[in-house]
Structure 1
Amino acid sequence: MPVLMITGTGTEVGKTVTTAAVAAAAAAAGRSVAVLKAAQTGVRPDERGDAAEVVRLAGELTTAELARYPEPLAPATAARRAGRAPVRPGEIAEAAAKLAAEHDLVLVEGAGGLLVRFDDEGGTLADAAALLDAPVLVVVTAGLGTLNTTELTARELRRRGLDLAGLVVGSWPAEADLASRCNLADLPEVAGAPLLGALPAGAGALAPDAFRASAPGWLVRELDGTWDADAFAARWAAPPL
């Protein structure tokens, strides 16, 4: 799995912090890691973007950012309004492949959800994944409403013949409500893919050293972690009627 695409079921679901956790766990396992941010929106040239946040949390690793647009919009819209060239799926795939030639793992973080457009021809992260034949990790929310967006994302991946590696809950609440607890069982079912981890709410606010030490405990062995999905589900199982 030299290249892993990381998308979400929407915005603000924890993609960047999840990317940092996967990077930190892989680095702790002795793997060389690169992170590619396909397009950064809503950030000025002098501001820190998502790639810099991954480095802050996960530690020094290779990063690349293909384009940056000032307005917090979908990349295609942000590029058009800024009068700048868009990032196309082929460019994402080419940059990821180059990084993969020199690293054990390349994490490609998308923007928003799977079908957010990068260019005016409708190019998406899914198209870049298809060019690379790369698996896709989907970051999901825990609570009410997540089943619909998760299933829609999973269905689209299957329709395109893409490999859904699994799901990671981007922010698991300290006091999980009934919907969140029920969703632990329902999410893998609607997605047809396993839960590969769950990050605690506020993980991104941890001190970097604490984040790096804790990250493997939030992810399964396949992501260089020690997280036990069955034990987590048993701990948070919904109470009987």
Structure 2
Amino acid sequence: MIGVPQGLFVTGSDTGIGKTFVGCALLSAWRAEGLAPQPRKPVESGCPERDGTLFPEDGAALTAAAGLPATAVEQVTPWRFPDALAPDQAAARQGVRLTVAQLAQACETPGNAPRLVEGAGGFYSPLCGDGLNADLAQALGLPVLLVAEDRLGVLNTCLLTLEALERRGLQLAGIVLNRRRADTDALLDNAGALTRYTAAPILSLPEGIAPQDATQKLSIWKSSWRMPPSPGVTSSRV
């Protein structure tokens, strides 16, 4: 039987770089192994209104990828705000002040199934009234998966994030370099450059990769993660 992790905190080098896409692919990979993963994105801003309520698009995508009923999005993303701002600012505009403790409590899941917690924006982006994404990751104590856009200049952000993880005593599970622009120079080799500075496993996703192909790549790659399995939790695959 293959040991599976207790969960992951998915963070980014920036906002809009594909954290949810990668998270959904990972949830699908876990489900293919017979697991019942539990996603959480406790706060989401920039939510459009649908049928009189704010609709968390990222939270809904994670809910669907985990194979949960649509109504489960209420637990996946309990706090939603309309303004496309950092969550702490979006909440403040609605007269709400969230805390790291509240968000951490919202990330609790039943049973021993692996959980996937997605932050908002980059690792040091403000998340709530008293903390950053980094503070929530530290409160949860989960290994961190860093998603970064595979573009020129991202090495600086990646290395700063790795240094921040080390300072906070958090474990880096791996790095996903997500290429999002078709005009990116084909000679660019961020993955190769990063191997000079970290022994963490690195996965490169090509521009325009289909969700099912990303799931397949993540399913194979995650066996190289540097993280402990959750006690008593195993995959149904031998």
Q: Which runs of 5+ in 1 are unaligned?
A: 226-241
What displacement does 1:2 show? 1.5
Partner residue, 2:122 = 113
Identity of aligned residues (%): 34
What displacement does 1:54 show? 2.8
Normalising by the residue count of structure 2, what TM-score does the alignment of the two structures yield? 0.79
Q: Which runs of 5+ in 2 are unaligned?
A: 225-238
Separation (CA, whole Å) in 2 of partners of 1:11 and 1:179: 25
**Contact 1:167–1:193 under 8 Å retained in 2:** yes
Between Structure 1 and Structure 2, the one with more helix by share is: 1
What displacement does 1:91 show? 2.2
**Contact 1:18–1:199 under 8 Å retained in 2:** no
Separation (CA, whole Å) in 2 of partners of 1:224 and 1:29: 12
Match of 2:128, SS state, is coil
1:202-241 equivalences in 2 (<5 Å): 202-203=208-209, 206=210, 211=211, 213-219=212-218, 221=220, 223=222
Provide the aligned length of Structure 1 versus Structure 2. 211
Calculate the aligned-residue CA RMSD, in Å. 2.4
Amino acid at match of 2:192: A
CA 1:37–1:75 in 2, change beyond 3 Å: closer, same or farther?
same
Deviates more, 1:44-53 or 1:155-164: 44-53
CA 1:30–1:74 in 2, change beyond 3 Å: closer, same or farther?
same
What displacement does 1:168 show? 0.7
CA 1:16–1:140 in 2, change beyond 3 Å: closer, same or farther?
same
Separation (CA, whole Å) in 2 of partners of 1:215 and 1:159: 31
Matched, 1:13 2:47: no
What displacement does 1:92 show? 2.5
Match of 1:118, SS state, is strand
What displacement does 1:220 show? 5.5
Amino acid at match of 1:110: G
Partner residue, 2:28 = 24
**Contact 1:15–1:170 under 8 Å retained in 2:** no
Which gives a bigger RCO, structure 1 or 2 (Cα 8 Å, sep 6+)? Answer: 2
What displacement does 1:214 show? 2.5
What displacement does 1:153 show? 0.7
Normalising by the residue count of structure 1, what TM-score does the alignment of the two structures yield? 0.78
Separation (CA, whole Å) in 2 of partners of 1:127 and 1:48: 22
